[in-house]
Amino acid sequence: MFVVAIVFLVGLIFMIQQVLFQYTILDISEPARMSDTHVIRSLTEDINRTIKAKLECNGSDDSFERYLEELDSSLKKEETGRIHVISISESLDCNYWNNLPPAENPLNISIRITGLGKDTVGSFKLYHRE
């Protein structure tokens, strides 16, 4: 009976230890996810995936131009109450929509994140097809 009690207590202590370790693990990826460069990279990857997936530049409800408008309005809604401000400046020219590099690109974007004494800017040229 003594051996059974010891095995049970050791198992119980091990289970409690595992439960408590879940609350003490440090998440070192959180600061990287909140960094300005990660936000800029995430936005450009999202815009790049979308520009390649859209069939039309403008003129329809599912156009890329409409996507940029929705992205801009959603960023303006979400930035209230945050400690940094995200602004996107885009230059979309649908005349170059089907161009391939090194020809003129249809979209130039500039993303700027300001806040907490930092000012991070990224400028990118994106193509519809690659």
Q: What is the pLDDT of residues 77-113, one digit of tens each?
A: 766 556 677 888 888 888 988 888 888 999 999 988 8
Encode pLDDT of 73-84 as tens digits.
887 776 655 667
Tell me whether residue 83 is exposed, middle or buried, using C-beta atoms within 10 angstroms of its C-beta: 0 to 12, 13 to 18, 19 or more: exposed
The whole-number pLDDT of residue 9 equals 93
What is the C-alpha separation between 103 and 17, in angstroms, rounded? 61
Encode pLDDT of 38-76 as tens digits.
888 888 888 888 888 888 888 777 888 888 888 888 877
How far lies 25's CA from each of 12, 18, 90, 106, in Å? 21, 11, 41, 46
Q: Is the peptide bond before 102 cis (omega within 30 degrees of 0)?
A: yes
Cβ neighbours for 112, distance < 8 A, ≥ 6 positions apart:
86, 87, 88, 89, 119, 120, 121, 122
Confidence at 20, pLDDT banded by 50, 70, 90: confident
The whole-number pLDDT of residue 48 equals 87
Read off the amino acid at residue 33.
R
The whole-number pLDDT of residue 11 equals 92
- 118 has a pLDDT exceeding 90: no
- 128 has a pLDDT exceeding 80: yes
